Amino acid sequence: MANRRRGKNYFKRAEGTPPPVTAEIKRHVHFNEVDLLGIVWHGRYPVYFEEGSEQLGRRCGLSYKDFYESGLRAPIVQLHVDYFQPLRLAEEFTIRTVLVWDEGSKLNTEYYLLKNDGSIATSGFTVQLLTDAGTGEVCIISPPLLERCRTRWKSGEFHIKNR
Amino acid sequence: MANRRRGKNYFKRAEGTPPPVTAEIKRHVHFNEVDLLGIVWHGRYPVYFEEGSEQLGRRCGLSYKDFYESGLRAPIVQLHVDYFQPLRLAEEFTIRTVLVWDEGSKLNTEYYLLKNDGSIATSGFTVQLLTDAGTGEVCIISPPLLERCRTRWKSGEFHIKNR
Amino acid sequence: MANRRRGKNYFKRAEGTPPPVTAEIKRHVHFNEVDLLGIVWHGRYPVYFEEGSEQLGRRCGLSYKDFYESGLRAPIVQLHVDYFQPLRLAEEFTIRTVLVWDEGSKLNTEYYLLKNDGSIATSGFTVQLLTDAGTGEVCIISPPLLERCRTRWKSGEFHIKNR
Amino acid sequence: MANRRRGKNYFKRAEGTPPPVTAEIKRHVHFNEVDLLGIVWHGRYPVYFEEGSEQLGRRCGLSYKDFYESGLRAPIVQLHVDYFQPLRLAEEFTIRTVLVWDEGSKLNTEYYLLKNDGSIATSGFTVQLLTDAGTGEVCIISPPLLERCRTRWKSGEFHIKNR
């Protein structure tokens, strides 16, 4: 069983690699997202994670459309969520999405849902593998799409504005 | 990062403890559950897990109603999913839910989604903590509800019929 | 504003046409489907309607796969729901789906969600237009897929077993 | 069957009553909201309607919290959706929510989902009845919460800023 690590990172930051790319969204909890206890149902969090990851993807050239046009898919092969504090009806919170540098044909993304006092309500991660849309096989050589993203990442372009 | 273990167990079966309780549901993939690629969207699996866990809960006296009437809550504090093979539109599959014996005030549940050829499409687990509905604190002493369940579990009652 | 008609039909049964085709599913309300008040959130009902309509479609040769293989689509152009009584957490209910005979290139479907005492909790309808998958245009001449369905319908084949 | 009226109003604007209150949100279509055809699944629209209605409720003192604190509930008794054009993956659109003046103990709300070219993709309405949280009965006399809202509405306060 994975460790529950509040505020700790899920993926290692390898020495000498560019810092992670971070994106943030502010959001309210909608009525249809809470359960009988007035807190967000645990299975609704992948929706929040995806909102964060889509925002980050638009910025880094890693959106669904970008993959599609490059003949790639990026299926999620692993999802993990740790729940520390509930989010309540109408509560405002922040989705912080963090893409961590990795040399392989995959995307390692961490998610931190923050209450307005800065404390972590929920955290988690996803792992996506880059596959060829035609064969379905995992890309052995890192695809050009990912290489372009990495070049921009190293240049510091993604770190200038935070949203 | 947790290991990806296809067909391996997430929770240890301690020696000398009763075997896990298992429940199974057969199910089709609905149109609203698949994504643009015709496969179940990764964030829909907690719904499947919950269907399995509700069925198991009804059998073991661990339903939401049972917790409520005992002044207890059982929040999920951890969720994990490993995706091995996609489930496709209209595909029939089985949700196998496995409750693993644990001495503490918590519920360790494993989920295995099986294709009709018996292979594992997806697996995962949840951890629930038993808390007092009034104080919100984790139960230090195992509550009577859980003790009653364990007595029936040890007696073998849960293993007679498999559904 | 459409009339609220409890137990009345939404679509006219034209004289001399075959009686509607009916399908029924028994179902429990899942935890993730209820809201803060412990009743099914109003926006969850299209999921129930779709479960009913998929079951009926499998029986009548009108599944998504059937449309796809015939180069057709069947987009929903209208949805209506009337809420009379709430459905509660864990409650068992029946989804009754009723396909009403129509001469045009469309499907008129009514839905009745029944409590175990036989009373109507919710009713509603959808209208689907048959369109050409290539052009996106509505089929002017009734497509062969629909004609085959109508031949079987007139023969009484769909009325033999009710599930 | 209700008429399909593109761009027409669902509820009558009675002469001599204050103009409707309008709220707007800009939004992208998320990956988990589209179906196999890459368009928003028809049953996802109640989520969009609710986002609009929550925004409007916050402005007019008609949020869930406001109802709750006044011992009221506002169950939806009718939902209607007309689909004119699909919304596609990643498409930006506007949710325009329109609360129409009514003298009774109910809320009549219209929804218009607009593409960026200004055309209507989808429209619909909901009817909510104000009920007493204790008895569950519909309020015969208009409750103070609604009266306060109407006083502010007549004063023009809701029409100054449009968001």
- pLDDT tens-digit profile of B92-146? 999 999 999 999 999 999 999 999 999 999 999 999 999 999 999 999 988 999 9
Is pLDDT of A163 > 90?
no
Give A54's contacts in chain D (Cβ within 8 Å).
28, 30-31, 90
Is residue C2 a part of any domain in this protein?
no
Residue C133 near residue C142, CB atoms below 8 Å: no
- Select the residue from A35, A37, A45 to test the C interface by mutation, using most C Cβ atoms within 10 A: A35
Q: Which residues contact D39 (CB under 8 A, 6 or more apart)?
A: D86, D87, D88, D89
The nearest CA of chain B is from the CA of C17 a distance in Å of 30
Answer yes or no: do A79 and B81 touch at CB < 8 A: yes
The DSSP secondary structure of A113-140, one letter per residue, reads: EEETTS-EEEEEEEEEE-EETTT-PBPS
Residue C31 near residue B74, CB atoms below 8 Å: no
Is residue B3 a part of any domain in this protein?
no
Q: Which tens digit of pLDDT belongs to each residue from D94-116? A: 999 999 999 999 999 999 999 99
Joined tokens for residue A60: 């880094």
The nearest CA of chain C is from the CA of B28 a distance in Å of 10
Is residue A142 a part of any domain in this protein?
yes
pLDDT band at C8 (very low <50, low <70, confident <90, very high): confident
What ipTM score was computed for the predicted complex, to two decimals?
0.94
In chain C, the largest separation of any two C-alpha atoms, in whole Å, equals 48
Answer yes or no: do D64 and A89 touch at CB < 8 A: yes
Q: Give the mean pLDDT of C90-108.
A: 97
Give A31's contacts in chain D (Cβ within 8 Å).
50, 54, 64
Joined tokens for residue A40: 């967000």
Q: Which tens digit of pLDDT belongs to each residue from B18-53? A: 999 999 999 999 999 999 999 999 999 999 999 999
% of chain A surpassing 70 pLDDT: 94
Which domain, by its residues, includes A53? 21-155
CA distance D159 to D157: 6
Burial class (CB in 10 A: 0-12, 13-18, 19+), D63: buried
Interface residue D32 vs chain A (CB under 8 A): yes
CA distance D74 to D70: 11
Q: What is the CATH number of the domain that holds C28?
A: 3.10.129.10
Joined tokens for residue A73: 């898919």
Joined tokens for residue C91: 């409650």
What DSSP element (H or E) covers A147? Answer: helix A144-154
pLDDT of residue A156: 94
The nearest CA of chain A is from the CA of C9 a distance in Å of 29
Is pLDDT of D163 > 90?
no
pLDDT band at C9 (very low <50, low <70, confident <90, very high): very high
Candidate from D30, D64, D65 with C-beta closest to A51 = D30
CA distances to A106, A133, C20, C22 from C114, in Å: 48, 45, 18, 14
Strands D92-100 and D131-132: unpaired
Is pLDDT of C29 > 90?
yes
Is residue C117 a part of any domain in this protein?
yes
SS3 category, A93: strand
CB-defined contacts A:D, below 8 A: 34
Q: Give the mean pLDDT of D41-59.
A: 98
Chain C, 34 to 93: residues with Cβ < 8 Å from chain B are 46-47, 50-51, 54, 63-65, 89-90
pLDDT of residue B2: 47
The nearest CA of chain B is from the CA of A78 a distance in Å of 5
Q: Which amino acid is residue D66, in one-letter code?
A: D
Is pLDDT of A161 > 70?
no
Residue C46's Cα: distance from chain center in Å? 10
Is pLDDT of C145 > 90?
yes
The nearest CA of chain C is from the CA of B5 a distance in Å of 28
Residue labelled with tokens 């859980």: B146
Answer yes or no: do D36 and C82 touch at CB < 8 A: no
Is residue B16 a part of any domain in this protein?
no
pLDDT of residue A1: 41
Q: Give the mean pLDDT of C78-87.
A: 98
Answer yes or no: do C65 and B89 touch at CB < 8 A: yes
Q: Which residues contact C136 (CB under 8 A, 6 or more apart)?
A: C73
CA nearest to D44 within chain B: B32
Q: With helix as H, strand as E and coil as C, how does chain B read?
A: CCCCCCCCCCCCCCCCCCCCEEEEEEEECCHHHECCCCEECHHHHHHHHHHHHHHHHHHHCCCHHHHHHCCEECCEEEEEEEECCCCECCCEEEEEEEEECCCCCEEEEEEEEEECCCCEEEEEEEEEECEECCCCCECCCCCHHHHHHHHHHHCCHHHCCCC
Candidate from D30, D51, D63 with C-beta closest to A90 = D63
CA distances to A121, B74, D84 from B134, in Å: 21, 13, 50
Give C13's contacts in chain D (Cβ within 8 Å).
none
Is residue B58 a part of any domain in this protein?
yes
Give B38's contacts in chain D (Cβ within 8 Å).
36
pTM: 0.95
Q: Which residues contact B15 (CB under 8 A, 6 or more apart)?
A: none
Answer yes or no: do C78 and D47 touch at CB < 8 A: no
CA distance A139 to B107: 39
Q: Which tens digit of pLDDT belongs to each residue from A70-123? A: 999 999 999 999 999 999 999 999 999 999 999 999 999 999 999 999 999 999
Answer yes or no: do C79 and D76 touch at CB < 8 A: no
Q: Which tens digit of pLDDT belongs to each residue from A3-60? A: 566 778 999 999 999 999 999 999 999 999 999 999 999 999 999 999 999 999 999 9
- Number of domains observed in the structure of chain C: 1
Q: What's the whole-number average pLDDT of chain C?
A: 94
The nearest CA of chain C is from the CA of B16 a distance in Å of 34
Is pLDDT of B151 > 50?
yes
pLDDT of residue B1: 41
CA distance D77 to D79: 7
Q: Give the mean pLDDT of C124-145.
A: 94
Is pLDDT of D33 > 80?
yes
